[in-house]
């Protein structure tokens, strides 16, 4: 997993805060083992944790990673 936060997002303190929040969101998702690159946009500097989580979930759902996880978790259950 790679998280890219450019200088356009803000100074070092802001970039590190965004990086920590994104890393925590991804940790809580328990995604399957995949190669993933997340690029933070400048708007991420003003977003709170829940906004980042919502936007990241939306992007992962659009990519099909969340559907894959849901389908994998429901196999073999009646």
With 0-12 / 13-18 / 19 or more C-beta atoms within 10 angstroms meaning exposed / middle / buried, residue 58 is exposed
- Overall number of domains in the chain: 1
pLDDT for 30 equals 81
One digit per residue, the tens of pLDDT, for the chain of length 78 reads 899 999 999 999 999 999 999 999 988 988 778 888 999 999 999 999 999 999 999 998 898 877 655 555 554 444
pLDDT for 29 equals 85
What sign results for the dihedral spanned by CA atoms 56, 58, 62, 64?
positive
What are the phi and psi torsion angles at 2 (to 5°)?
A: -130, 140
Which residue range forms the structural domain that includes residue 48? Answer: 2-74
The answer to whether the predicted template modeling score (pTM) of the entire model surpasses 0.85 is no
pLDDT for 76 equals 47
CATH number reported for the structural domain that contains residue 65 in this entry? 3.30.230.10
């Amino acid at each position: 997993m790679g998280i890219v936060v450019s200088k356009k997002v803000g100074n070092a303190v802001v970039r590190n805060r965004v990086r920590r929040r994104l890393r925590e969101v991804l940790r809580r998702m328990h995604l399957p083992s995949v190669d993933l690159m997340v690029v933070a946009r400048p708007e991420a500097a003003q977003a709170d944790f829940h906004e980042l989580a919502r936007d990241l979930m939306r992007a992962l759902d659009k990519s099909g990673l969340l559907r894959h996880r849901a389908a994998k978790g429901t196999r073999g259950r009646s």
